Structure 1
């Protein structure tokens, strides 16, 4: 069983107003090729398929076209879970139709945790009689030598309301503790069901083996879990768009909350590929393209976990021989370049990029001493006739002069929701002893707004 783990596509995302559909299309084309080249059996998409709960037509077209292409490839199953950016009901709407393509979509938790447990068993033998049994036994004997079975715990993004009951008089610490406990209990329930299904499947396979001419014992069946959450110690970078899942909360979960029977845990939400707490089998794949200039120099990747297959193409670099986990680097489809410095430094770097015939999208921050009011005109003149684009200019000196004279002109984009609320408290001289309760209430209002599924009835 060979799985490919990816996440955080954020289809439809723009960069300072510049649409990025060509990048997304190039990545998905590349991914289809890798699935064929590597002989991938199962594709896991660990949340944040779209950047918005109401994705545009082009983003949807990219998604559905990709799923159709994968359905016609060697990949036999695709499992998609919702992230915090996704609308659960939007993802779930076509799930019955997609199931015909062996695309399994889990948009939200249900009352029955068994709905999140998928049994993948392609050994081919069903209980049948006489001639039909004989025919299926022949199929089984041909497949059991390279048996490909697994149990997948497809746990979507767990919203606050999914894992925690609100009680009056709770402190922030109480909320954080209950959030972590709720996530832990949910994974425990789902994985317990997976263990039961694995044991049942092993028993059935043992019976099949005894009936067949093959004397080998059934191979181990891996339990593969998915999730979209923020783990303790997880690395982020400036401008990556990763937001706190639980507003005003420090509820980052540790690797110890996950059951030890999980053979591989495919996580989404953080855009930097990384292992969790040194455990190589608990991993974030990271986003496939840089979501901001803080990620511009990262080598993006997808993760391949190989359970029992001996073949491996030279594309991959093995990072954990015991568990056969590999990182596969993703090509850069659109270069991003951040230039910081004086006007001379900026122009010198632009000349280097022009000689290299770069097509980068640029973020430029001027930090020189002089105030330059026509910085944009100077940069446009320098870039005339090139394929480069300036996506953002930060003129620090001009900004400092303006801010020193007219404080109210501060850009709202430079503040987050918490900072705006704090400014309001300051403006109305709210006493410190009253602020904690007000902030807690405000946090819950913001959280409810962020988690509202606008596509639900």
Structure 2
């Protein structure tokens, strides 16, 4: 059975005053074609189906039309809520959508954990996989307040409660699996920041209580963990089966450097070729290879690239160089190019906007944002100012160090960050184990 993992659609988003309606419509049409071509039988959306808790009417129409389109293609739809989604809004149509093979998980429920374990059935009606549908976890959903706790104790308690929630849901899935003639894959979901995930400008800082990021040892041994919240597609563990699908369209200019994609899972290969915890991590032959073998190590996972539906570009440099680059930009095949420009100059230039406007006057280009930075600012992270070492985590310090190295490419930066976070996570795992 093939299952498609996506997340962070943010239907209804406005990007610097621009509607994404046409892009989202084009993406959904592309997705429906993929579902037909690949024979997809289930779609998992791991949070943030909407951009706000009160999305515009056209976004709701897209959502409900998607449900009908899935039903027409005999494709099950599983929607788990993200931090942008409104619990009450998703619940409005939850019962009705259940009759159309769409299961919505809007909120964690500790009193009915079995409600989080959903069967994904094949064409023969038999269970082909179990889905541990865990939405965005709010502290009130999983944590009981205890008076007199220090900040560190609160963090530890919250992390433990999140871990317990996942483990309890996973055990229910295991119990259901044991009742089948043939065990099937167990898939989890999550909408959160996990250690190892690399953020982008459009990702809202997400704190589960006071936790900034969860180490991967918090999660059970899912055959696959479908994550949402971070908009850059990436794996967060060595085996490559704990993965962010990323957003289907760029939600900020700094997401342009990486391809957008969805993940297609083959449940039979996932359950039959699942790596054991004792299995050694694959040897990395080329740390900065375009296809990182650490992320493609697990059989049964296919990454499918999404076309770009809106021409977008971000340019940075001296003003004269920028003017030349813009004049030589290729004309988009259709539509308008959305452009962001960062002008690097140590002296104040009074006519930046005027000169940029003149060069794009007769071109199919719309200038959405102009930023100015000095040479020094261009070499350092914008948010480093006035921070002391005591205010930063170990991961923060590493991130700041990488950000100051302009000669490191985006791919290299991501590879180094992932390796560092894997080492950090392994260290935390060892510290958490009883001696």
Q: TM-score range by the shorter chain?
A: 0.7 to 0.9
CA-based RMSD: 2.7
CA distance in 1 between counterparts of 2:350 and 2:68 reads: 51
CA contact (8 A) 2:241 2:298 kept: no
How many angstroms does 1:258 deviate by? 1.7
Q: How does 1:7-406 map to 2 (within 5 A)?
A: 7-75=7-75, 77-110=76-109, 111-122=111-122, 149-200=128-179, 202=180, 206=181, 219-237=182-200, 239-246=201-208, 249-260=210-221, 262-308=222-268, 320=296, 322-354=298-330, 359-396=336-373
CA distance in 1 between counterparts of 2:332 and 2:29 reads: 26
CA contact (8 A) 1:6 1:45 kept: yes
How many angstroms does 1:121 deviate by? 3.7
User: Per the alignment, do residues 364 and 114 of structure 1 end up closer, same or farther by CA in structure 2, a change over 3 Å counting?
Assistant: same
How many angstroms does 1:240 deviate by? 2.3
How many angstroms does 1:30 deviate by? 0.7
User: Per the alignment, do residues 355 and 330 of structure 1 end up closer, same or farther by CA in structure 2, a change over 3 Å counting?
Assistant: closer
SS at match of 2:172: helix
User: Matched residue pairs, number?
Assistant: 356
CA contact (8 A) 2:253 2:313 kept: yes
CA distance in 2 between counterparts of 1:123 and 1:390 reads: 49
Q: Which has the larger radius of gyration?
A: 1
SS at match of 2:214: coil
CA distance in 1 between counterparts of 2:168 and 2:333 reads: 55
The more displaced of 98-107 and 147-156 is 147-156
User: Per the alignment, do residues 375 and 354 of structure 1 end up closer, same or farther by CA in structure 2, a change over 3 Å counting?
Assistant: farther
How many angstroms does 1:356 deviate by? 6.7
How many angstroms does 1:16 deviate by? 1.4
How many angstroms does 1:183 deviate by? 0.7
CA distance in 2 between counterparts of 1:171 and 1:279 reads: 36
User: Per the alignment, do residues 355 and 65 of structure 1 end up closer, same or farther by CA in structure 2, a change over 3 Å counting?
Assistant: closer
Residues 213-264 of structure 1 deviation map (CA, whole Å, 9 limit, x = unaligned): xxxxxx4311111111111121113x122312236x344222212222x211
How many angstroms does 1:320 deviate by? 4.0
Higher helix proportion:
1
Residues 239-292 of structure 1 deviation map (CA, whole Å, 9 limit, x = unaligned): 122312236x344222212222x2111111111111122131111111111111
How many angstroms does 1:78 deviate by? 0.7
Residues 113-132 of structure 1 deviation map (CA, whole Å, 9 limit, x = unaligned): 1111112344757xxxxxxx
User: Per the alignment, do residues 265 and 348 of structure 1 end up closer, same or farther by CA in structure 2, a change over 3 Å counting?
Assistant: same
Residues 334-361 of structure 1 deviation map (CA, whole Å, 9 limit, x = unaligned): 1221112222111011012156778421
- TM-score, normalised to structure 1, is 0.73
User: Per the alignment, do residues 123 and 12 of structure 1 end up closer, same or farther by CA in structure 2, a change over 3 Å counting?
Assistant: closer
The more displaced of 43-52 and 19-28 is 19-28
SS at match of 2:240: strand
CA contact (8 A) 1:307 1:323 kept: no
User: Per the alignment, do residues 372 and 109 of structure 1 end up closer, same or farther by CA in structure 2, a change over 3 Å counting?
Assistant: same
CA contact (8 A) 2:185 2:268 kept: no
CA contact (8 A) 1:334 1:360 kept: yes
Structure 1 segments unaligned to the other structure (5+ residues)? 126-146, 207-218, 311-316, 401-413, 420-457
User: Per the alignment, do residues 185 and 288 of structure 1 end up closer, same or farther by CA in structure 2, a change over 3 Å counting?
Assistant: same
CA distance in 2 between counterparts of 1:52 and 1:221 reads: 36
CA distance in 2 between counterparts of 1:395 and 1:323 reads: 46
Structure 2 segments unaligned to the other structure (5+ residues)? 271-291, 388-435
